Every structure is written in structure tokens, then in C-alpha cells.
């Protein structure tokens, strides 16, 4: 299957600093990538849709000036958490969509990066 | 908007069969997915349904009824390693995939 690489796997930072998370599709081109965050024992919450060559589309309630998304190429999207605060501590996961011809239908499968655990002190 | 409901937790015995249900409401529909997620790890793809009926893949099967807004994931011959969260995910009328809260499955010996 398709491989999505995400790093760093974990990061600890001081309150007020910025953290950049990278997401790369290694063996396919991803026009669109998605950023999710997940709190313990909760499901994935979509933060934004990252489109190559254009501005990201943010979900309601997600501050675009705080969570900066850049999709510079067909294989790389970055999420920068600016001026991080302890409440930003979470598991951040990126994903990329790949079209797949199944036995009965074509699907757009999501392939996930390994996630980044962010802890803000 | 979209809404996805699935049970919070389930417990089953090793070697048994378990069915995890998912109901949803959506204004548009472009597919329903099931993902498995172990604690601290990213989700991994299990199945995809866009047409009504059953999709079988080894020990895992998934069923969809679009008219009822209903899907289930069937796990056969349960193994201890199947203990995980199972996420029902919906791709609605747009390009986004929205996840349910997940069902934590505990497999006991």
C-alpha cells in the first residue's frame, strides 16, 4: 500500500514556541492531504484539508492563524502550530488520499502518517 | 451535516465472532470506511463500502445499507491482537472523511 511518512513522532516544547510537523507521501503524489488531531480516547477530528498549490480549507472552530498549513508540493504538506499552549497538546495525524480500483468500486482510501504526539509544557 | 454513531466499547472472546455496528446520517454519500487503530498509533485501513452489500476480506467483512444509513464490521476468529479501536468513517458529499468516535474492542482469552 501507499506510504505516508510523518515526523517528528513526538515533540516536547515550551509554551509560546512554534512546532512544525511534516507529512510526506513517499510513493505517490497527493494532491490533497488532511490533518487530524486526536485527544486521548477520542476519535479523529478533522482540522483542515491541505491542497497543493492553494490555501488550506479549515474546519469550523480551527484557527487558521494558529495552525498554519503549507502544501508546497505534491508530496509534502506541513502543519505549524504557532505560539503553542498546553491545550494544544494532542496527537496530530496527517493523511493522504489515493484512488484505488477495488473489485466492485473505485475508492479514495486514506493512508495515514504515523502521527505526532505534541506535548506543550 | 454528518453524524456517526457506534458503540463505545465491546468485549468478545478469542476465537469468537463480533459485529460492530455503525449508523450514520449524511446529506451526501461517497463511501463508508472502517479503520483499526491501536493505542498510540495511526489508523490502518480495513475496508471500504460504497455499494450496498457485503465486502469480505479474510477475517474481516463489512456490510452497508445506504437506505438505512447502516454499516457493520464483522470480525471472525478473533485473536488477542484484534483488541483495538475500530473507527467508522464517512465520506459525505464533499471530499472530506469524518470519523465516528470509535468502538474499543477488548478480546479476552
Q: How far is B16 from chain A (nearest CA, A)?
A: 25
Q: Contact B42/A46, CB-based, under 8 Å?
A: no
The model's pLDDT over B86-95, given as tens digits with 9 standing for 90+, comes to 999 998 776 7
The model's pLDDT over A29-68, given as tens digits with 9 standing for 90+, comes to 887 899 999 988 888 999 999 888 888 999 999 999 999 9
SS3 B81: helix
- The beta-strand segments (E) located in A1-121 are 4-7, 10-13, 19-25, 32-38, 45-51, 57-58, 67-73, 76-81, 90-101, 106-112, 116-120
The confidence score (pLDDT) of residue A27 equals 85
Residues of chain A with C-beta less than 8 angstroms from the C-beta of B2: none
Q: How far is B66 from chain A (nearest CA, A)?
A: 15
Q: Choose the mutation target among A6, A57, A108, A119 for the interface with B, i.e. most B CBs under 10 Å.
A: A108
> In the predicted model, what is the mean pLDDT of chain B?
93
Q: H helices within chain B, ranges in order?
A: none
Instruction: Tell me the C-alpha distance between A8 and A119, whole Å.
Output: 12
The model's pLDDT over B34-48, given as tens digits with 9 standing for 90+, comes to 999 998 888 998 999
Give the CA distances from residue A83 to residues A10, A18, A93, in Å, rounded to whole numbers and listed in that order. Answer: 17, 5, 19
Q: Contact A104/B100, CB-based, under 8 Å?
A: no
Pairing outcome for strands A57-58 and A45-51: antiparallel
The model's pLDDT over B5-29, given as tens digits with 9 standing for 90+, comes to 999 999 999 999 999 999 999 888 8
Residue A31 has which C-alpha cell? 494532491
Residues of chain A with C-beta less than 8 angstroms from the C-beta of B98: 46
Amino acid at each position: 500500500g501507499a506510504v505516508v511518512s510523518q515526523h517528528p513522532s513526538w515533540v516536547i516544547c515550551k509554551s509560546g514556541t512554534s512546532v512544525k510537523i511534516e507529512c510526506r507521501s513517499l510513493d505517490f503524489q497527493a494532491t490533497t492531504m488532511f490533518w487530524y488531531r486526536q485527544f486521548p480516547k477520542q476519535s479523529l477530528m478533522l482540522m483542515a484539508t491541505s491542497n497543493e498549490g492553494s490555501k488550506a480549507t479549515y474546519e469550523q472552530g480551527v484557527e487558521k492563524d494558529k495552525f498554519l498549513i503549507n502544501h508546497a508540493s505534491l508530496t509534502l504538506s506541513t502543519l505549524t502550530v504557532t505560539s503553542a499552549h498546553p491545550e494544544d497538546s494532542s496527537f496530530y495525524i496527517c493523511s493522504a488520499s489515493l484512488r484505488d480500483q477495488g473489485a466492485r468500486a473505485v475508492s479514495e482510501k486514506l493512508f495515514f502518517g504515523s502521527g505526532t504526539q505534541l506535548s506543550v509544557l | 451535516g454528518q453524524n456517526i454513531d457506534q458503540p463505545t466499547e465491546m468485549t468478545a472472546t478469542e476465537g469468537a465472532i463480533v459485529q460492530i455496528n455503525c449508523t450514520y446520517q449524511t446529506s451526501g454519500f461517497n463511501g463508508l470506511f472502517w479503520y483499526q487503530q491501536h493505542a498510540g498509533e495511526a489508523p490502518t485501513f480495513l475496508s471500504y463500502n460504497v455499494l450496498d452489500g457485503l465486502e469480505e476480506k479474510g477475517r474481516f467483512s463489512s456490510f452497508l445499507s445506504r437506505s438505512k444509513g447502516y454499516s457493520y464490521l464483522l470480525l471472525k476468529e478473533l485473536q488477542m491482537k484484534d483488541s483495538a479501536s475500530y473507527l467508522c468513517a464517512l465520506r459525505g458529499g464533499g471530499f472530506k472523511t469524518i470519523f465516528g468516535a470509535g468502538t474499543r474492542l477488548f478480546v479476552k482469552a
